[in-house]
Structure 1
């Protein structure tokens, strides 16, 4: 099983960051390459569309409001992996109430690609996503 993790310090309180990213259906609010999200099964499943029209379906597998994190599994996507589970976490930065650390991590099995290729793919997705979050919060 392969894995990757990216974290970034962003210019907002953990509470503000979580209020933006903590909703499982909230990706379009901060992630430009996911302009559409439809909540299904009472909000436990999200159907995402990217600008190319690809469909990604993900299921919420863990959610913790108090600790500010959730995990999800990909059910359907155009990615060369299976067994994908990812976690998005928001942490406080010790001594800085005006900053938060956001960590996006995932583990997965390559399927039709090398481990290096899928690690590079998801590292890029997470890095670009956290850069977009930083721009949204700074804007």
Structure 2
């Protein structure tokens, strides 16, 4: 099993950041790579469409609004991993703003640990850079 975590510190309040990213269907609001998010099964499954028309299906595993965190798994995606679980959390840094943590664990399938880790680090890093731009706008 491999894992990775990427963080972003922003000057906005944790509540403001969570308001933007805390909805399980909200990825298109801050992540330009995801153009559509359709919720199903009472909001527990999201079907994402990316800019190239690819589809990713993810399942909400846990949600904690008071901790500003949710965990999800991948049900279907073109990634070379199995057993993928990810957590998105917004931490309150008081007067310094908020820290966003995006982490994941997975088992590489047909690629090395380093390749799988690099893939998700890139996805998380690019995603958090897009979030930073959205918050600054």
TM-score (norm 1): 0.96
> What RMSD, in angstroms, separates the aligned Cα atoms of the two structures?
0.8
Per the alignment, residue 118 of structure 2 pairs with 120
Tell whether the 8 Å contact from 1:70 to 1:88 is kept in structure 2 after alignment: yes
Per the alignment, residue 133 of structure 2 pairs with 135
Within the alignment, does 1:16 sit opposite 2:16 as a pair? yes
- Shift in Å, 1:52: 1.0
For residues 14-69 of structure 1, give each alpha carbon's deviation from its aligned partner in whole angstroms, at most 9, with x where no partner exists. Answer: 00000000000000000010011000101000000111111100000010000000
> How many residue pairs get matched?
137
Per the alignment, residue 77 of structure 2 pairs with 77
Per the alignment, residue 105 of structure 2 pairs with 107
Give the secondary structure class of the aligned counterpart of 1:12. coil
Structure 2 spans left out of the alignment, 5+ residues: none
For residues 70-92 of structure 1, give each alpha carbon's deviation from its aligned partner in whole angstroms, at most 9, with x where no partner exists. Answer: 00000000000010000000001
TM-score (norm 2): 0.98
Runs of 4+ in 1 over 4 A off after TM superposition: none
- Shift in Å, 1:11: 2.7
Give the secondary structure class of the aligned counterpart of 2:8. strand
For residues 109-133 of structure 1, give each alpha carbon's deviation from its aligned partner in whole angstroms, at most 9, with x where no partner exists. Answer: 0011111001000000001100100
